[in-house]
Structure formats: structure tokens, C-alpha cells
Amino acid sequence: MLPKMPIMCGMKSDSQKLDMVIDKFDSLGRAVFIFDRSGTCWENFSHPCLELFEVNPAGKKVSEVLRISSADHNQFQNWYHSLFDNENLFTEFAKLGPKCLNNSRNGRVNLVYEAFKDENGKLLGVLVMATPESPVEITEDAIFSEELFLNFIHHTREAFKEIMSGGLSIEDYIRLFHRIRGDSSIFSFKEMVDTAGECESYLRKLAPAVLNIDVHQKISECCQKLSDALECRISKK
């Protein structure tokens, strides 16, 4: 049996309310479906999915619906697992997902990811919304890898800037190193995962102690090591 769409935040569980939600997306011309931690799409979806994704997503793997290549499959799986493993950082991790795919009739289709939670705020699934764009030439196999990697570079460099700017609380530093570790794991960047994890663990042992010059030095050294590792990886890309 295919998984049914659970309760939306603030919504009743009856089928009439569920139909109203799907009808709303249909009226907006939005292709919408939801997938769970296993990467399986739920039975409920809006009708524009059939045109924009050119497939019925019900019961299929999200990697199949988004046409993720076999070479990028593990990377993609690491990405969506990170959404469920880091619910409090969902918005940041969601930005690292594939941004578009090619449609044989409508050209480029843009993708957005939203958290789908129950009334208690528990993440139940990832809602994928798609809207068509003017046709552009784009290599299907390159969509995921390039978009994901460029977003990773941008957000990681921004995290480095925030860390090096100073004046943060120890909790802020922990959050930033945790995010870098999670993002790096998507690409299996072992050196960055290990370095960020080491600094995060070091800071967690100190929290909520006041930061001193030795701690700031450690943070600075870790950040520089991470930055060097990232730039080295970029040069090899």
C-alpha cells in the first residue's frame, strides 16, 4: 500500500480537507508531491506533476521523479537524509537540493523544498513544488551536481565569514560548525567533515563557558583549515 499524506499543520485529517489542499495547488498550476525519509513519494499529489515531471510520482522514489543520475544517487540520498536528521536546519539544508530539471515540452522546471510537519512540529515529509520556466538548454546529468555544489560553496563560504567575524556566542559557533559538517557529508568531503566535527565536539564540551583567547584561536585555526580544504576541493572540481 502506498503511503498516505498525513495531517498538515493546523489541518484536520479528513479527506475533504486534504482534497482542498491538493485542489489549491492544482488551481495555482503548481506541481506538488511529498516524499518521506526513505525517499518514497506519497500517494497524494497535484495534477500538474503529470505534465511537469512527466511521471506519476505516487509510490515512486524521489530520485526517479527528479531524474537523478546513478552517479549522483548517493550524493542525493545523503542530501535528503540530512533534511530529516537536522530538522532545525531544514531551510539551510533545503537550499542545497537540486534547483531544476528539464522537461521535454516545457523546458526548465524550477524546484523548491518545504518542510511538511504535523501539528506538533514533527517533520513528516519533504514537500516538493515545481513551476515551469522559459526553455533553456541544460544538460540533464549536470543539473543536480552543479547546482548542489555551487550552493554548497556559497553557503559554506558565508559560514566561514560569519565565524571569522567574531562576536558570536559559543552556541552560534556550534551551530555553524554543525551545519558545515552536515553540508560536507553530503559530498563525502571527509577532511571537512572530520575538522568541523572535531571543532563542534570541542565547543560542546566547553558550553556554556565564556569564550577566551585560546578558544577563539582554536576556532580560527579550524575555520582556516576548513577554508583551505574547500578551496583545494574546488580547484580539483
Per-residue pLDDT, 229: 92
pLDDT reading at 3 higher than 60: no
pLDDT reading at 28 higher than 80: no
Residues 36-51: what's their mean pLDDT? 91
pLDDT reading at 2 higher than 70: no
Per-residue pLDDT, 131: 84
pLDDT, greater one: 83 or 117: 83
Per-residue b/e over 48-75, b at no fewer than 16 CB within 10 Å? bbeebbbeebbebbbbebbbbeeebeeb
pLDDT reading at 232 higher than 60: yes
Asked if 92 contacts 115 with a C-beta cutoff of 8 angstroms, the reply is: no
Minimum mean pLDDT range among 6-10, 22-26, 47-51? 6-10
Per-residue pLDDT, 19: 66
Report how far residue 25's alpha carbon sits from residue 23's, in angstroms, rounded to the nearest whole number: 5
Report how far residue 203's alpha carbon sits from residue 10's, in angstroms, rounded to the nearest whole number: 38
Asked if 96 contacts 61 with a C-beta cutoff of 8 angstroms, the reply is: no
First to last CA, the chain: 43
- What's the pLDDT tens digit per position in 126-151? 999 988 765 444 444 444 466 678 88
Per-residue pLDDT, 21: 66
For the chain, percent of residues with pLDDT exceeding 90: 38
Question: With the C-alpha atoms ordered 181, 184, 188, 189, is the resulting torsion angle positive or negative?
Answer: negative
What SS3 class is residue 214?
Answer: helix
Per-residue pLDDT, 35: 94
pTM of the predicted model over 0.75: no
ω into 208 cis (within 30 of 0) = yes
Report how far residue 9's alpha carbon sits from residue 6's, in angstroms, rounded to the nearest whole number: 10
- What's the pLDDT tens digit per position in 176-210? 999 898 888 878 888 999 999 999 999 988 877 77
Number of residues written out for the chain? 237
Per-residue pLDDT, 109: 87
Mean pLDDT of the chain: 82
- What's the pLDDT tens digit per position in 95-106? 899 988 887 775
